[in-house]
Amino acid sequence: MLCALEGGAPWVERVVWSVDGTLLASAAGRKVRLWSAAGELVREFADHPSTVADIQWKPGARELASAAYGQIAMLHADRAEPLQTLKWQGSQLVLAWSPDAKHLATGDQDCTVHFWIMRTGEDLMMSGYPSKVRELSWDHTSRYLATGGSPVPCVWDVSGAGPAGTKPKLLEGHGDKVTSLAYQHAGPLLASAAADGEVILWQPDRHERALCRVELATELTHIAWAPDDGALAVGDARGGVAALVLNNPLMKST
């Protein structure tokens, strides 16, 4: 059954299902709305101060993080008012929760990454990226955060005292800007896709060398692992989708 929902603005920026599949959240303009699986409007939160760039459900909770200029709001499905508001004078583009929900990362318009410690509300900033950062991915242990923003993926170790004062691992191998990053759901492999059509697999917890690579014909826009981590779906700028299986000969070892 096809069900059309009214997001509240001409352009819907993001829609995300809760992990249990009972709630669908939408972000359109300054509005965030929640819908039931049957398409009924459950809640509309008060307008944000600016356009909402991203929304992401907190792992294991009925809470939703929303990013707008100058703030991240923590919204609860059962409450009209935000649980918490994290202030920062800048424009967040994307959100990424660590799987253990202890940390929240943002990729930012000003070529930085912010790293929020949710227990305290403290934030750290990683700077020096040559372009705005739209690519973030956590590994399943919540120890490593991979970031884009250049042709070289950076992998930060957030264990112990976190990334403050440390240097990331630099994964050199792409010839063009990284457009998407994805860690396996339960394994150690990181996949990166670039604007020149190349996909590379890495295992950053062991070394910084590329494991294997495949070259496709057009600019890549998004990659996602299959639930069993055995294959990658790759989307491109022409609207095409390819499936890459790990034992496929096209995945050339390096």
Q: What is the pLDDT of residues 182-232, one digit of tens each?
A: 999 999 999 999 999 999 999 999 999 999 999 998 999 999 999 999 999
pLDDT at 164 over 80: no
Average pLDDT value over all residues in the chain = 92
pLDDT over 80 (residue 1): no
Buried b (16+ CB within 10 A) or exposed e, 52-65: bbbbbbbeeebbbb
| pLDDT per position as a tens digit, 69-90 | 999 999 999 999 999 999 888 8
**pLDDT confidence band for 247 (50 / 70 / 90):** confident
pLDDT in tens, 6-46: 888 888 999 999 999 999 999 999 999 999 999 999 999 99
Q: Which is it for the CA torsion 15, 117, 47, 63, positive or negative?
A: positive
Separation of alpha carbons 25 and 41, rounded Å: 10
The pLDDT of residue 250 is: 54
DSSP state of 48: P
> Which residue type, as a one-letter code, is found at position 95?
L
- DSSP reduced 3-state for 14: strand
